Structure 1
Amino acid sequence: MSHLAPYPVRLADEITRQLGQLADHLSQLPPTQAAEVIARVLDSDAGVLGGVTHLVATGSVFAKGQAGKGALPAEVWLALGRASNVLHDVALDLEEHMDTLQHVGAQPATTSAKPPAPAPLVVRRRR
């Protein structure tokens, strides 16, 4: 008889599988739908990014308690804490672009005679 993984492990596996499916679909969506999906995923309150950030922060709290008991090295706790902070910072950086993504996602799909002009790609870094 095979040993079944506990529910939380199966849930994590299922979420990972569904994220892969979503990425596959995203690559094939029309631009307006892709922008809408990206905006929902990146929502820092109710989206996937916010959920992952919360999950990593919760893992950091768990690891802190376990590190305090000597069951985990302190480096695990510190790494999870750093990851949580970085994810939070990324969410804040992306939040300024949410209105644009939502606007693009709300536009009806039209076929215009003149395609939009490509934007120059500029790398800006602020910190």
Structure 2
Amino acid sequence: MSHPATYAVQLTDEITRQLVQLADHLSQLPPPQAAQVLARVLDPDTGVLGGVTHLVCTGSAFAKDAAERGTLPAVVWLALGRASNELGDIALDLDEHIDTLLNVGTQPTALTAKPPAPAPLVVRRRR
């Protein structure tokens, strides 16, 4: 049996590899499928973002204990605590848009040739 720390490091490397692979797939998906994948990724309860937030919260608890024992600087615990709070806030902000992403992913494709109007953020001025 391998040492648990070794397994955790290997698991971390594998998850990182899979996240890169997921991002590569996401960039190649048609918009409706990409929207559905994003909705699942951003789900604060069952998605990747929720999992990362939980992981950082767990890391913050570890850092607090280590800081109290003097084996880790308190600023590390404070930074992890701040990061977990910020990730939680981001997850809540994005949670508001999951239904929109799911709807984009389930809308039937229009048969008309008229493309959707661009959002004002992507409209370019011509000189």
**Does residue 76 of structure 2 align to residue 76 of structure 1?**
yes
Q: Deviation per CA, 1:80-101, whole angstroms, max 9, x where unpaired?
A: 0000000001111111111100
Q: Comparing both structures, which one devotes a greater share of its residues to helix?
A: 2
Distance 1:10 1:110 in 2: 45
Aligned partners of 1:111, 1:70: CA distance in 2, in Å? 65
Paired positions, count = 118
Compared with structure 1, are the counterparts of its residues 93 and 68 closer, same or farther at alpha carbon in structure 2 (3 Å cutoff)? same
1:60-116 Cα distance to aligned partner (Å, 9 max, x none): 000000000000000010000000000001111111111100101122345531111
TM-score by length of 2: 0.88
**Residue 88 in 1 paired to residue 78 in 2?**
no
1:6 deviates by 0.9
Does the CA contact (< 8 Å) of 1:32 and 1:108 recur in 2?
no
2:66 is aligned with 1:66: yes
CA–CA separation in structure 2 for the residues paired with 1:37 and 1:87 = 19
Report the residue type matching 1:42 in the other structure. Answer: L
Aligned-partner Cα distance in 1 for 2:111–2:31: 12
Provide the TM-score with structure 1 as the length reference. Answer: 0.88
Instruction: Return 5+ residue gaps in structure 2 as ranges.
Output: 123-127
Q: Which stretches of structure 1, 4 residues or more, deviate above 4 A after TM superposition?
A: none
Provide the C-alpha distance between the structure 2 equivalents of 1:112 and 1:65, rounded to a whole number of angstroms. Answer: 60
> In the alignment, what sits opposite 1:104?
104
The 5 A counterparts of 1:1-127 are 6-110=6-110, 112-121=112-121
Identity %: 75
Distance (Å, rounded) in 1 between the aligned partners of 2:110 and 2:13: 38
Deviates more, 1:37-46 or 1:104-113: 104-113
CA RMSD of aligned residues (A): 1.5
